[in-house]
Structure 1
Amino acid sequence: MSFFAVWGAIALGYLLGAIPFGLLLTRLAGLGDIRAIGSGNIGATNVLRTGRRGLAAATLLLDAAKGAAAVLLVRGWLAPGVPAAMWLAALGAVIGHVFPLWLRFRGGKGVATALGVLLAACWPAGALACLIWLLVAVIGRRSSLAALIAVAASPLLVFIFAGPVALAPSLAIAALIIWRHRANIARLRAGTEPRIGAKS
């Protein structure tokens, strides 16, 4: 794989992933800066704490869509026929969401974007990860727990359905997202993690 394909895929993924849809949508809706409420996160779970379910759903879909777009653009245009390139774009998109340049590298936790890249790059793994998230969320009523379990399972799912070429990027994505959830992990252990839909 050429130097251009490697860094082009990562850069394209990063630029798309760094679009802060949660922040943009809440500001357009007149709700101010989403980073000033709840967890301070720009993702859909925190947008839900505004009480605007439609905005939260739109944030979730757009954050997933930007990850999917990165994968599809690399697969179909930048480096067609090079599976490793689209997985680098996937990693770049999640890094962009977590560390967006425009927000002083303080972004979201990357779960929706990761699910988007999984669905675009390897839909069986993505579909199963979404199913795991949904089941755990319904049973446990805690978004972070559902995300952690789905993300932790995703490298194995990717390896099964996409093979070893995708394993290293998927492990890096999972490790980054789990690291971003370290405060949630501490609250889960303490029993103080808010339930889905809680305003604080």
Structure 2
Amino acid sequence: MIALWTLATYLIASIPYSVLLGKWIFGVDIRKYGDGNPGATNVYRASGSKFWFVVAVCLDGAKGLFPVGIAYWMVGIRDMGIVPIALAAIAGHAFSVFLRFDGGKAVAVTFGTWIGLTIFEMPLVM
């Protein structure tokens, strides 16, 4: 069960939403902007829109929040069992199979994973 959940989480987190937003909404490859990173900051650089930046951050964060949060809080995968799932979310974004194992910095995904594990306890304190 943990291995299957880990694989599914990796594949979900590998979906490059920022790159897809750039192609679908703006018709550009966001990796041609800024530092060449397929992340939310380059969505902002390509679009000039804070709205699309926030959309990209939320989509990237959701890649960590939902698979990890559901596994932890609803399925009941706890203790060391949640570790590979949480790491798969981060690794999926940083080493996306859909981008030939090139990916983003995984900041939003890491924050989303953290929220999924704590259900906003620590992020609200910050």
Mark yes or no: TM-score above 0.5: yes
Q: Secondary structure at the match of 2:26?
A: coil
- Mark the CA change 1:83 to 1:27 in structure 2 (over 3 Å): closer, same or farther: same
- Of 51, 54, 61, which residue of structure 1 is paired with 2:51? 54
Deviations 1:102-150 (A, max 9, x none): 100111000000000101102333445xx3xxxxxxxxxxxxxxxxxxx
- Of 70, 80, 83, which residue of structure 1 is paired with 2:79? 83
2:55 is aligned with 1:37: no
Q: Distance in 1 between matches of 2:32 and 2:77?
A: 44
5+ residue gaps in structure 2? none
Q: How does 1:44-193 map to 2 (within 5 A)?
A: 44-50=40-46, 51-75=48-72, 76-77=74-75, 80-122=76-118, 123-128=120-125, 131=126
Q: Whose RCO is larger (CA < 8 A, sep 6+)? A: 2
CA RMSD for the aligned pairs?
1.6
Bigger radius of gyration among the two: 1
- On the 8 A contact 1:9/1:85 being kept in 2, the answer is no
- Mark the CA change 1:81 to 1:22 in structure 2 (over 3 Å): closer, same or farther: closer
Q: Distance in 1 between matches of 2:124 and 2:94?
A: 22
Q: Structure 2-normalised TM-score?
A: 0.87
Q: Distance in 2 between matches of 1:17 and 1:81?
A: 18
Amino acid aligned to 1:9:
W
- Runs of 4+ off more than 4 Å: none
Amino acid aligned to 1:120:
G
Deviations 1:47-86 (A, max 9, x none): 1112121111100001001110111232223xx1523333
| Percent identity for Structure 1 against Structure 2 | 33
Q: Secondary structure at the match of 2:102?
A: coil
Q: Structure 1-normalised TM-score?
A: 0.57
For residue 88 of structure 1, report the CA deviation from its aligned partner: 2.1
